[in-house]
Amino acid sequence: MFKTLHTVFFILLLAGVMIGFQCKSKKAVTGNIDVKEKVQQAERIPKIIVDKSFKGDSLGAIINIDTATTKGDTLFLKVSYSGGCKEHKFKLYWNGGYMKSMPPQAKLYLFHNNNGDVCRRLIKETIKFNVSPIQYQGQHTVILSVNKYKQRIKYKY
């Protein structure tokens, strides 16, 4: 009886240890997935397009910029436009130049492609852009101005 009790205790102890290791390995894998997800999300935020020849002549379909803020290297634009039947695409251009001021200022151009959407529903959404290419060497702040938005946006990095 003592031997049977000893064997049962040993089996339960071994099972408990195995379950404990399995739980820890799952947490480690989950932690790795979270880090990978964050990296993938950061990669999905489109970067500003630096085009020294860009003049801002044609900026696509009508769009309103309701608010603009920065957090880290990301510019958040809350926009509204008419549509609802087709996917709309957005690009943010910068010609690489700075206005002479302290802190430096950069003029950005939001391009809105409505893909021929003629629907009239009011769409509101937040679009994001990575503006890290705008950083000015030796400074920690650049003032951004975006066409169709009257206020200036402070980008601190």
Residue 118 has pLDDT above 80, yes or no: yes
Rounded to the nearest integer, the mean pLDDT of the chain is: 85
pLDDT of residue 83: 97
The pTM (predicted TM-score) of the whole model is 0.72
Residue 39 has pLDDT above 60, yes or no: no
Residue 129 to residue 137: CA distance in whole angstroms = 20
pLDDT of residue 27: 44
Q: What is the percent of the chain where pLDDT is above 70?
A: 73
Helix (H, G, I), strand (E, B) or coil at 105: strand
The residues spanned by each domain of the chain are 1-44, 49-156
pLDDT of residue 148: 87
pLDDT of residue 28: 44
pLDDT of residue 82: 98
Residue 115 to residue 19: CA distance in whole angstroms = 54
43 Cβ contact partners less than 8 Å away, ≥ 6 residues apart: none
pLDDT of residue 26: 45
The answer to whether the CB of 80 falls within 8 A of the CB of 63 is yes
Superfamily, domain 49-156: NigD-like, C-terminal beta sandwich domain (2.60.40.2370)
Residue 36 to residue 79: CA distance in whole angstroms = 29
**First-residue to last-residue Cα distance in the chain:** 72
